[in-house]
Chain A
């Protein structure tokens, strides 16, 4: 495995808030085009890590690079190469679908023509072309999340960070959401995703499980199940999250 195949490299990453250690010496890498599941209980330090990797927060010590740029020193270059979608509202409720696409396409530097084509293409894939002039506030949550994902990948970023993208979404829409993720990954985009749904963890190529700021396990879902001698990721998760509690 060549090193430049590792699109995310994290070395001895530590993040402290006062005396509280949110991320305790993280070390891992993510391969280009991989779907990487980033699991952990609430408060385990996932969101802190994702914020550091997306350039929103500075590491206390250690190093991390995303798409070849250092997240501490070159955060604005990192931002140019990533997409980001969180469970919180990321699109503007008081703007239409089309206006949201246009705004985010515009600030990532897409041409007017590029924005039009991308918007049409992405909406067609979601089968939502008819809704392009509808206000976001009128659109159901599950659809919003799919739209938010499409907006996050509109500028064809090298890595997409998804922070609990399917929280509060119904099972059918979740499945459709993961189809979108697979399709984007097949185009070579790296997917870095956090989730609390263990069935979704099964969809990932590799997963890491965090507990109390540390990564306790990192492997493919099948290897993890073998290692802990259980049948489901659910049980793996409970073993690891409970062992420290």
Chain B
């Protein structure tokens, strides 16, 4: 036990003496949280819109004003021909083109039926469906107004009325959803990279050879490499939670000790992955590359940006070995829903087994012999 204390003392001295370490530990997570939380948004705003108005009537002007008055649209102007509209889509001047047919007003009044075409750039499929949903709802609004104007006494109440109720995030604020996930992301990056780089650095400068001829036990050495970054990552989580509260007004609904308890187990898993990789590599370059590879896969599959439920079955199964997915899920449950331990006990136990296994692999894989 005394040996571990001496190892820890050495590691802490080295970590905090490194001039680049303090900014990495404290500034990087804050910047990440601020930038990612504001930019990783799924809301579609500022849709660049061009209208092809073949009709040039009072009604078409009314429709155009509906679009240009909407907060979702960035109205770029009216053009005269369909070709011009298509061109603006092609050269990315517009995201969406609304085409009003010739004789629109007349058709509406005489035929009681008129047509509008909506063309959307669908390179990003989910953005496109949102964009077209926005325009359709604007047109639907307009439809209703026409009916009310034409039949002022008609009862246009629909027989089934839906009253949506959004729980846990009533304002549908995407930041509320993103911030808990991004918090997981930043402690993961700090933990996995710093621990892995630290061990492999001793290989690069050659001091590991001196360590290997001492009677240090393997688990003592790994513990010495793990604990400092475990503490640092927990501090980063605390800073992140404080920022989430102060900047984004996202409080932790559930229990804070419970959150840190899960984080502690999660961090053992993540740090051990970093250490495991570094026991198998000889240079910081190799270790960083492999860590990045796993991290990118872990993050993309974690449900941070896209719901796990909509992934194919094999991907969902693969997430059993994705520690990031476990913690993002649990962190969102605790922070937003105020879930208690019983609500995610199964995930927690899987995470615990995971942490213990990877830690054992790392200790086993670290060889004091060449």
**A interface, CB within 8 angstroms of B:** 51, 54-58, 75-76, 79-80, 82, 84, 86, 88-95, 99, 102-104, 106-109
Contact = CB atoms under 8 A, between A and B. Distances in A.
A51 B370 CA distance: 9
B206 A95 contact: no
B212 interface: yes
B209 A56 contact: yes
A32 B15 CA distance: 41
A86 B209 contact: yes
A79 B215 contact: yes
Nearest to B7: A107
B201 to A, nearest CB: 10
A190 B209 CA distance: 21
Contacts of B215: 76, 79-80, 107-109
Interface string B142-172: 0000000000000000000000000000000
A140 to B, nearest CB: 18
A136 to B, nearest CB: 11
Nearest to A135: B17
A95 B369 contact: no
A102 B12 CA distance: 14
Interface of B: 2-3, 5-7, 9-10, 13-14, 17-18, 205-207, 209-210, 212-216, 368-370
A109 B2 contact: yes
Given A79-B214, A92-B10, A58 B2 contact: no
B370 A57 contact: yes
Nearest to A82: B213
Q: Which 9 A-B pairs have the closest CB atoms?
A: A106-B6, A84-B213, A88-B206, A90-B210, A80-B215, A103-B10, A79-B215, A54-B213, A57-B370
B6 A107 contact: yes
B213 A107 contact: no
B148 to A, nearest CB: 77
Contacts of A57: 369-370
Given A75-B369, A89-B206, A94 B216 contact: no
A95 B6 contact: no
